[in-house]
Amino acid sequence: MKVLASGLRFPEGPIALDDGSVLVVEIEGGALTRVEADGTVSPVHCGGGPNGAALGPDGAVYVCNNGGLAFKTEDGIRFPYWMAEGNEGGYIQRVDLSMGSVEVVFTQVEGTPIGNLNDIVFDESGACYIVDTTRGVLYYADPVAGTIGIAEEGLEYPNGMGLSPDGTKLYASETYSGRVLAWDVKAPGILSGKTELYSTGGEYHWDGLAVDGAGNVCASNLEKSGITVISPAGDVLREFVTPERDPYVTNICFGGPDGDTAFICSAGRGILYSLQWPWPGLRLNFAH
């Protein structure tokens, strides 16, 4: 792995762009930050705690904001330990990178305030699935049309999420149960047939995930300081570990000239790594 940038303030939710730069959210920094190929960083201030992001069909970046977290440092690792003072819940933001403008799109669903949001992924239709970690819910939203509803509920601290290359499977990780779950996508926003793709039995915990071009679920493994690659059949294929141990390796995405460069967030150490991926990468819907 190569260090692309350091000194970031708990980076998560990477998005690889066609110009060679990578967007990350900085939870402690309260920003959506562009990391150039030479490591130069330029933030757009969002406030609160930006926790995940994805490009939408209108060219804007949609940010999952958890409302803000409190941080502390132990043994050189910076990490969140509780809600920040004044955190009144999560919300979805729309960021126009060309203008540097930020607006709040959603603060509640069906009359209930949104909890601490974590991850977001757009499908081909232009709508998106959103993870509400503290409420244990997956939302389905069309932020351009202004609609949002519940697609799945009753989950145990869901965290990362991704769609299969053909869009027929949705995957989500549960942090503390150690489960990676899978659903059939019957129609946009309609999930069925929930199964357990893989489980650690709670032995080690997950953070975010991404799906690569081979359909592998690439989950951030907190205890192992890296990424565990799980096949669509539920077999562990390989594990990648960061050069410096970090119990907060949180996210991965794919990009680069050939699409097979992985970008990995070592959030506790504030590092964004790049890595040549041995499988094809996966270009996300509306990424550019």
Question: What residue has token string 């509306």?
Answer: 286
Q: Judge whether 260 is annotated as a binding position.
A: no
How far, rounded to the nearest angstrom, does the alpha carbon of residue 198 sit from its chain's CA centroid? 19
Is residue 19 flagged as an active site residue?
Answer: no
Dist CA 156 CA 174 (whole Å): 6
Catalytic residue among 119, 207, 212, 246: 207
At 202 the three-state DSSP class reads coil
Rounded CA-CA distance 265/284 in Å is 18
Rounding to the nearest 10 degrees, give the CA dihedral for residues 166, 63, 229, 172: -70
Distance CA 215, CA 277 (A): 13
- Residue carrying structure tokens 């570990």: 241
207 is in an annotated binding site: yes
Name the binding residues: 159, 207
User: Known binding site for a divalent metal cation: residues?
Assistant: 159, 207
Positions marked catalytic: 207
